[in-house]
Amino acid sequence: MKFGIVYHWRDPFEIVQMADDFLELRIFEEDLKNKYRPWKSKLKELRKDWDYEISIHMPEYFEHPNTGLNTLVDLASTERKIYNFSLEVIKTLIEFGKSIEASKIIIHPGGISEQPALGDTTKKMDRLKKSLSEISGMEFAGDILLENMPWFYWRRDGTRWFSTICYTPQDFRPLLKYCDGMVLDFSHGYLSDSSGSNRYLEEYTELYKDQIQYVHIADSLPPDNEGLQIGEGNINFEGILNKLDKTQLWLVPEVWKGHENFGEGFEIALDRINHLI
User: 3-class SS at 268?
Assistant: helix
Measure the CA–CA gap between 153 and 188, rounded to whole angstroms: 9
- Please give the mean pLDDT across all residues of the chain: 93
DSSP-assigned beta bridge partners for residue 147: 183
Pairing of strands 22-26, 53-57: parallel
Do the bridges between strand 225-228 and strand 112-113 make them parallel or antiparallel, or are there none, so unpaired?
unpaired
User: How much is the pLDDT for 63?
Assistant: 82
Cis peptide before 116 (omega within 30 of 0): no
Q: Cα–Cα distance between 54 and 86 in angstroms, integer?
A: 23
What pLDDT is recorded for position 23? 95
For residue range 31-76, list pLDDT tens digits in order: 988 889 999 888 988 888 888 899 999 999 988 877 777 899 999 9
C-alpha atoms less than 13 angstroms from C-alpha of 17 in its C-beta half-sphere = 6
pLDDT in tens, 184-216: 999 999 999 889 999 999 999 999 999 999 999
What order of strands is seen across the sheet that includes strand 112-113?
Answer: 112-113, 160-163, 152-154
pLDDT of 76 reads 97
Residues near 266 by Cβ (< 8 Å), separated by ≥ 6?
5, 6, 15, 18, 253, 255, 258, 259
Taking 80 as the threshold, does the pLDDT of residue 270 lie above it? yes
* CB of 63 closer than 8 Å to CB of 28: no
Q: Is the pLDDT of residue 109 over 80?
A: yes
CB atoms within 10 A of CB 228: 18
Check if the beta carbon of residue 164 is closer than 8 Å to that of residue 124.
yes
The dihedral through the CA atoms of 65, 66, 72, 75 has a sign that is negative
Write 237-240 long-range contacts (CB < 8 A, 24+). Answer: 237/186, 237/273, 237/276, 238/276, 238/277, 239/198, 239/202, 240/186, 240/198, 240/201, 240/202, 240/205
Write out pLDDT tens, residues 115-161: 887 778 999 999 999 999 999 999 999 999 999 999 999 988 889 99
Give residue-wise pLDDT tens across range 209-264.
999 999 999 999 999 999 999 999 999 999 999 999 888 899 999 999 999 999 99
The partner residues of 53 in beta bridges, in order of sequence, read: 22
